[in-house]
Amino acid sequence: MVKCQRCGQENDGDADFCENCGANLNPLKNGGSRQPPHDRGMKQSTKILITVCILLVAVLGVSAAALSQLNKVATVPGSTVNSVNQSTSSTNNVKSSANAGPKTFSNGIIYFQYPSNWDVLPNTSNIMAIVGLPHYPSFSVYDESKYGYGSLSEYVSSSESQMTSNGFSIQSERNILVDGLHAHETTYQGKSGNGKLIIQRMVLVEKSPGSEYYALVGADNANQYDQDSSSFDQIMNSFKFL
């Protein structure tokens, strides 16, 4: 073994240059050169540096893999929570829709649906049903078979004559079907008992020619009839005789 006089590194006996610092171990043979030939290999310090770099890359790789796995684990509960929240939200939407659905009226003789914010109102002996709000809009059903009308046209003529004599004017009229039965719809405008301008939508139905006749009457303040007309449509479209 040959000890380097410069750094103290032990080198092979036939070495011409120090493997650690490159010092000339045989000045007489190598002409005083301080650097080893290029084919002697890299310095020890270079080897150490490369080894450190390799270890550093390996550590970074392991750390990245660990972080990726943690992210996957952390994501699963979040997704589950989101799914639960979405499911709960959907359930709440279904409940809200159900609560906003129409109410139904049935007394064994007639059936119809009406808005969920309306109520059944106090009745009188000549009214089969009345629903709505305390001060309009409202919808009433009358059984007028007792008046002995012989036909639908006679019923319509008598009703229009009575309404116009009470100060109401006809806005429109048409023939329609209610529950598959012949009917006549007339829209009137006039003043109520307390002097307010109102609209009355009156549908006269012939259930049995010459014997059974019914009046379906929607009433509303004139200034809000347009926005409430869809409620009357809902009632008329769902109306049935049982």
Q: What is the pLDDT of residue 220?
A: 97
Q: What is the pLDDT of residue 227?
A: 93
CA distances from 185 to 20, 29, 55, 117 (A): 113, 128, 92, 25
Mean pLDDT of 53-79: 59
- Which has the minimum average pLDDT: 68-82, 161-175, 228-242? 68-82
The rounded distance, in Å, linking the Cα atoms of 40 and 242 is 111
Position with higher pLDDT, 101 vs 45? 101
CB-based contact 34:23 (threshold 8 Å) = yes
Q: What is the pLDDT of residue 126?
A: 80
In this predicted structure, the answer to whether residue 39 has a pLDDT above a threshold of 50 is no
Q: What is the pLDDT of residue 199?
A: 98
Mean pLDDT of 48-73: 66
- Angle at 213 (CA atoms; ends 212, 216), nearest 5 degrees: 145
153 φ, ψ to 5°?
A: -65, -35
With residues binned 3-state (H G I as helix, E B as strand, rest as coil), the percentages for the chain, rounded to 5, are 40, 30, 30
- Angle at 237 (CA atoms; ends 233, 242), nearest 5 degrees: 135
The rounded distance, in Å, linking the Cα atoms of 191 and 193 is 7
The yes or no reply on domain 103-241 and CATH 3.40.1000.10 is yes
pLDDT in tens, 179-205: 999 999 999 999 998 899 999 999 999
Residue-range domain boundaries for the chain:
103-241
> Which of 201, 227, 229 lies closest to 215 in space, CA to CA?
201
In this predicted structure, the answer to whether residue 1 has a pLDDT above a threshold of 80 is no
